[in-house]
Structure 1
Amino acid sequence: MLWVVCWYPQSPISYRDLELMLRDRGLSVNHTTDHRWIQAYAPELEKRVRPHLRLTNGSWRVDETYLKVKARWIYLYRAVDSRGRTIDFRLSAPRDTAAAKRLFRKAFAQSNTVNPRTITVDKKVAYPKAVADMKQDKRLWRFSKLRQIKYLNNIVEQDHRRVERLVRPSLGFKRLRTAWNILVGYKTLAMMRKGQVKGIGGDDIVAQAAFVDALFDPAA
């Protein structure tokens, strides 16, 4: 089960592909069961991985891309640091100041983040208002600098492409909750591949698998 939960979110494959891969290994698991495992355990995996992440730095890059959920465009807000390490992410139907503020509040609540020195965004008008409101509410450091420089956001743009590559085989999402749980799996495995887990290299697949096993082992 953990193999399914870790393999699907990092590879551009469908649930039917995953069913065939398991059958090749002598396991008969229906693709709908694979889907239920992802829905149940991907959020739990993120919850258990978060306390083991390295600190991100104070130079944030924030942007959003869009995904289709039941024929409706939904926005995926994302923040990474200057090294490309994932800070946080959030799905939102509206694309406005309130959505940007919700991303910031969620990111500030994580144990591996620091109050940013700089926040780099594109030219959308929602971000200056969100940053000003967060400073007024004393949720954001008052000396944090907002930079609206599009080319400096190439790091987060590259991360968008990774998500789009993984989403394509799924042929879209049917429900917002389903989309969120799968995206949590994508992002959690991406954080591990980026070397964000303390003491484990981003290319050390064996150590990462052992780490995940230990997270779910009641005797560990």
Structure 2
Amino acid sequence: MKKSKSFYHGHLFPAVVISCAVRWYFRFHLSLRDIEELLFERDIVVSYETVRRWCDKLGAGFAHWVKAVRRDPGNTWHLDELFVTLRGEAYVPWRAVDDHGAELDILPQKRRDTAAAERFFRRVLRSCPVPRKIVTDQLRGYPAAKSRIPELANVRHVYVKAAARVNNRAENSHQPTRERERRLRGFRDLKRTQAFLSNFGPIRQHFALKRHLLRASLYRKQITQRFDA
């Protein structure tokens, strides 16, 4: 049986250095130059452009792996959109999270209409089972798009108040994206924004345990297991 190549095949630096750099970038609000400095402090001389290439090449693989090992998605979808500006042009990243707060998918699109909602529904269905309930704001594109998809036609649809800073699953899921957007001084390219956000959510959540709900010993045990993974 032929063995599959490692994520790190062909790289000069050891896996522990590469995985640490990629984890820092997606887990914390650090720039590429910040990571270059942190590695240099540990006597590892790497340019920030090398760190960028590691994140571009390996980020999707890490995100796919953490999605595979996390718990099964909940049976409720919470969907919402936020506005970001890419080089002066407004875009709408559509996001879906489950009832545990785990990000299911994200898709930046130009429009906020029925066609965009339908496109996002179909994208989420490719990786997640049909939910029992869908929770959205009062955007009229959601029920129109839902009615066009046979798998979702009979799924219960619940509406919530549409307002900024409302305390619900979907609105709270935007906070890390907004914090990272400020740290990066805004997103710039649509393709790179899609790649970054698709990797950022799953990898960040893999390590962002709910510390306040865990005893110190249990927290250290669980975070060690995730580091090893």
Q: TM tier, shorter chain?
A: 0.7 to 0.9
Residue number in structure 1 paired with 2:113 = 96
Question: Is the 1:120–1:153 Cα contact (8 Å) retained in structure 2?
Answer: no
Distance 1:6 1:13 in 2: 10
Distance 1:191 1:8 in 2: 13
Residue number in structure 1 paired with 2:224 = 206
Instruction: List, as ranges, runs of 4+ consecutive aligned residues in structure 1 with deviation greater than 3 Å.
Output: none
Change (3 A) 1:133 1:202: farther
Q: Which runs of 5+ in 2 are unaligned?
A: 1-17, 210-217
Distance 2:117 2:167 in 1: 16
Residue number in structure 1 paired with 2:3 = none
Q: Which runs of 5+ in 1 are unaligned?
A: 196-200, 212-220
**Alignment match of 2:148 (pick from 125, 128, 133):** 133
Distance 1:188 1:78 in 2: 12
* RCO higher in structure (CA 8 A, sep ≥6): 1
Question: 1:194 offset after TM fit, Å?
Answer: 5.8
Superposed, 1:41-52 pairs within 5 Å as 41-52=58-69
**Alignment match of 1:144 (pick from 129, 139, 155):** 155
* Percent of pairs with identical residues: 26
Q: CA offsets, 1:156-178, max 9 Å, x none? A: 11110111112221122332121
SS in 2 for 1:139: helix
Which segment is superposed worse, 50-59 or 161-170? 50-59
TM-score (norm 1): 0.82
Question: Is the 2:106–2:197 Cα contact (8 Å) retained in structure 1?
Answer: no
Q: CA offsets, 1:102-146, max 9 Å, x none? A: 221121111xx3311211111111111111111xxx232x32111
**Alignment match of 1:62 (pick from 79, 89, 103):** 79
Distance 1:78 1:202 in 2: 28
Residue number in structure 2 paired with 1:159 = 173
Superposed, 1:65-84 pairs within 5 Å as 65-84=82-101
Indicate whether 1:121 and 2:136 are aligned.
yes
Question: Is the 1:5–1:185 Cα contact (8 Å) retained in structure 2?
Answer: no
TM-score (norm 2): 0.79
